Copies of this chain bind each other. A is one copy, B any other.
Amino acid sequence: MSEAVGTVHHGVHVFPVRVYYEDTDAAGVVYYANYLKFAERARTDLLRVLGIEQSYLAGEAGLVFVVRRCAADFLRPARLDDGLEIHTGVTDVKGASVDVSQSVRRNGDELVRMEVRIACMKRADPGRPARIPQGIRAAFEAWRDAS
């Protein structure tokens, strides 16, 4: 089991991201799709905090978490060398999906706000929902209640 790097404050998971050349584009700012990569790193780390390793989940249980919906507001641009924080909270837990709210921040300023719905699916049949295993669902619910 890999070690999580994010920290938790009052039910909010805080994950650090550094901006490298690979993340920026010719407009001099972070390319818009790359914030979704940052957000996915943070969610993976949050799963790790909850004791869930995705490579184990895919192999043993044959389950993958897949983004079903994502809405992002790009408020201010991030730039090369910026040190960002991704804040993630759980807002809703259903039988086969979890809603999270994510925020990309720099020195307290919100740069990007994202609402993401993650669905649990069978690895062998992506596109078809699967119930979230009970232990994992309970972990998400406890997280949501702490938010």
Contact = CB atoms under 8 A, between A and B. Distances in A.
Interface in A37-84: 37, 40-41, 44, 53-55, 58, 64, 66-77, 79-81, 83
Contacts of A3: 83
A126 interface: yes
A18 B37 CA distance: 13
Interface residues of A, number: 46
A5 B81 CA distance: 13
A22 B27 contact: no
A101 interface: no
Interface string A6-22: 00000000000010111
A58 B81 CA distance: 12
Contact of A27 (B36, B37, B66, B79): B66
B64 A81 contact: no
Given A40-B20, A71-B70, A72-B69, A80 B26 contact: yes
Given A25-B25, A33-B36, 17 more contacts: A2-B18, A21-B40, A22-B33, A25-B26, A26-B26, A26-B29, A26-B55, A28-B126, A32-B70, A33-B40, A55-B79, A58-B80, A67-B74, A69-B71, A70-B70, A70-B72, A76-B127
